[in-house]
Amino acid sequence: MYNSKIIGLGHYVPDNVVTNDDLSKVMDTNDAWIQERTGIKERRHVVKGDGDTTTTMGVKAAKIAIERAGIDKDDIDFIVFATLSPDYYFPGPGVLVQRDLGIKTVGALDVRNQCSGFVYAISIADQYIKTGMYKNVLVIGSELHSHGLDMTTRGRGVSVIFGDGAGAAVLSREEDNTKGILSTHLHSEGQHAEELSLIAPGMGKRWVTDIIEDNDPQDESYFPYMNGQFVFKNAVVRFSEVIIEGLEKNKLKSTDINLLVPHQANLRISQFIQKKFQLSDDQVFNNIMKYGNTTAASIPIALTEAWEAGKVESGDLVVLAAFGSGFTWGSVIIRW
């Protein structure tokens, strides 16, 4: 059985920087309030009409990852695209990436696991490569949140958190089973699904015809809802559990970690996990301060920036971990 190895990374974020002070002009909030609760200073938002979509941002990140991998786009055997904000209700962005990159008619899979989406997508790609089915898999996490947020005081508890952007990785076959992705670990707990959710325009309770007929501008079901304190309490527990699970699976300890790249949900969560595992600032990579929470894109953006900054070297033990809506959570243990 093969291992899979990340051989190329890339990311893309819109040029438009939205600071906390910018948000204070459209809602009752301020820089101190946002930083104290989230650690976020600014985020990137797409400007309407600039051509950036979930797919096009993913394509831009993918082109960089493929170039850095040193392969041709036609060497890609399969595409896995993680997002909660697709361009269309259907089809998903995976096939749009295949089209826009001009890749041959390979399979394309969409993953809807929100903040855990990239971890789930990496796990899927890893399994396909481990079994020998594919050699090179393109994995993308991309989100366009800004067009779907309640940018008023009513929605500030959620809207100040999220940003737009994309990250991508190329996974390739590695015959040395001591290198590459050592293991992945995935979990879910659907009983808490509504604690972090966006209900509309789902088909479960109302059909599209009902939604059109109602045409209710006060309908809050179109905006994300989050029970912040409940999510935080669950996140710190599940983050810890799934990191420990991955380390124990590979007979490793927290002292073996060279770099932890957590999902960028809240700087306070990352700091809690860092303290629990007694990791130094150099052992944990955070960039939520610049980009906010980009959901499925947050880990690949952060991992790419860490690699670009020279914080990831051959032989390093790198741990990816995420928790989010669903609830879903997971970890990836990598020997770089």
Q: How far apart are alpha carbons 284 and 202 in whole angstroms?
A: 37
Collapse the DSSP code of 294 into the 3-class scheme (helix H, G, I; strand E, B; otherwise coil) and give the result: coil
**263 tagged catalytic:** yes
Query: Does the active-site annotation cover 286?
Result: no
Between the alpha carbon of residue 41 and those of residues 12, 34, 224, 324, the distances in Å are: 19, 8, 21, 21
Determine contact, residues 332/246, Cβ cutoff 8 Å. yes
Which string of b and e fits 215-225 if b means at least 16 CB within 10 Å?
eeeeeeeebbb
CA distance 17 to 291: 9
d(CA 14, CA 19): 14
263, 321 contact by CB (below 8 A): yes
Catalytic residue among 11, 20, 113, 115: 115
Let me know if 250 is a catalytic residue: no
**First-to-last CA distance in the chain?**
18
Distance CA 327, CA 148 (A): 21
Which of the following is catalytic: 263, 266, 286, 287? 263
Report the C-alpha gap between 237 and 39 in whole angstroms. 20
Give the residue numbers marked as catalytic. Answer: 115, 263, 293
